[in-house]
Amino acid sequence: MAEVLTISDRDGVRTLTLNRPESFNSLTVELKEALLTALEAAGADDAVRAVVLTGAGKAFCAGQDLKEHLERLEAGDPAPLATVDKHYNPIVTAITTLPKPIIAAVNGMAAGAGASFAYACDLRIAAESTKFLMAFAGVGLTADSGSAWTLPRLIGYGRAMELFLLARPVAADEALRIGMVNQVVPAEEVLTTAHALATRLAAGPTTAYAKIKEAMLASAGSTLADGLAVEGRTQAEAGATADHREGVAAFVAKRPPVFTGR
């Protein structure tokens, strides 16, 4: 049986591929647990300096595997109703707090929690064929997997509310126009484009990137004073790194910097 999640490393970039193409990479308990474990491992591995999240086949991720969900509900199993707290929330937390850049290579349909995972990533590269769908209301559910927090911050409250209430698909060109994704490319170029960008980031000051993510995340829900305090602390921490000294030395010497993540 094929692994539901495949992992590959190249040039300091770890690529995590959701690998259930026959079901559009819909999320079973097995896949959710594998993804969380892989994200935590990537965060703890110093050899991993950037991460790409993508899907196998023609879809990025169709969200919750509703067949498994229904089977367990009909069997009287209460566990499916706890999956938000047990699986989705920890996955989104792992993505947003990952101490290195993570790029979503959205190679096709991204729906429900699958779209939410992409929104939680730092950058999103989408195939021209991609459609995003916030499908929660269509099955009588509310937003989850952080989407009620991440999506309005990407595209604004009004547009996000429209997509949640109407469950209207958003094609790649519109997603680019409204700020949902950073770049749109032909389908065959999604992974190579995302990997090239991740490789560029992997060669950068990864500790500084981690501090940028920390400051951005903290400031999103804070006052200006609190945001300034976080910036002051994280700047001091970044300023104490070897990468900062190397960056300054390279600037003065008018040469390219060589960052090590330390």
Contact between 114 and 155 (Cβ < 8 Å): no
Residue 1 predicted with pLDDT over 60: no
d(CA 196, CA 190): 10
pLDDT digits (tens, 9 = 90+) for 81-121: 788 999 999 999 999 999 999 999 999 999 999 999 999 99
User: Residue 190: what pLDDT?
Assistant: 98
pTM flag (> 0.85): yes
User: Residue 245: what pLDDT?
Assistant: 87
Mean pLDDT across the chain: 93
Which has the closest alpha carbon to 119: 102, 139, 135? 102
pLDDT digits (tens, 9 = 90+) for 198-251: 999 999 999 999 999 999 999 888 888 888 888 889 888 888 888 888 887 888
Residues contacting 217, CB < 8 A, separation 6+? 96, 97
User: Residue 79: what pLDDT?
Assistant: 67
Percent of the chain with pLDDT over 70: 97
Q: Could you tell me the CA-to-CA distances from 27 to 87, 124, 158, 162, 241 in Å, in that order?
A: 10, 20, 28, 25, 39
Residue 164 predicted with pLDDT over 60: yes
Q: How many residues does the chain have?
A: 262
Domain annotation for the chain: domains and CATH numbers: 5-202 (3.90.226.10), 206-253 (1.10.12)
